Amino acid sequence: MLSRRLALVLPLAVLAAGTGYTLLQPALASPTLDAETAFQRAKADEIILVDIRQPEEWDQTGSPKGAHRIDLRSPDFLDRLSDLAGGDRSRAIALICASGGRSARTARALSDAGFTSVLDVSEGMLGSSAGPGWVARGLPVVAD
């Protein structure tokens, strides 16, 4: 009976994750940072800032100054992220995407994978209901 329920619920969960709608309770959301705080904390080397968008998106807006680029779709995403943290899964990592959807879902997934200090830059590069975004705030970007 349990496997039948799982077979019915799992596709809905996957579909919901792809649309930005979440089945998780708000209490399970990852801690968030606004873009300005993420920039200041990355500059002070308090967090590892990671731009998880796709190369086409990096080309359009650049990436946050001080951010590491790792395409979320990359098959070695988890390995590269772990390498950035020096294998320390307690190291503070902040994720940024375009508008906070992918970064929020990825932050939750990384927490489930054993990373204990994952933050979501919830307004993203382009803004969202959480705030105007990195670009509109006039924070520095790099093209390479």
Summarize pLDDT for 46-74 with one digit per residue, the tens: 999 999 999 999 999 999 999 999 999 99
Residue pair 103/49 in contact by the 8 Å Cβ criterion: no
Q: CA separation (Å) from 50 to 36, 61, 114, 131?
A: 15, 15, 17, 19
In a domain, residue 11? The reply is no
Q: What is the CATH number of the domain that holds 81?
A: 3.40.250.10
| 98-133 residue pLDDT tens | 999 999 999 999 999 999 999 999 999 999 999 999
Q: How much is the pTM? A: 0.80
Residue pair 29/104 in contact by the 8 Å Cβ criterion: yes
In a domain, residue 91? The reply is yes
Question: What is the H or E stretch that residue 33 is in?
Answer: strand 32-33
Range of the domain at 120: 24-142
Beta-strand pair 48-51/93-96: parallel
**Residue that is written with structure tokens 């209901």 in the block:** 129
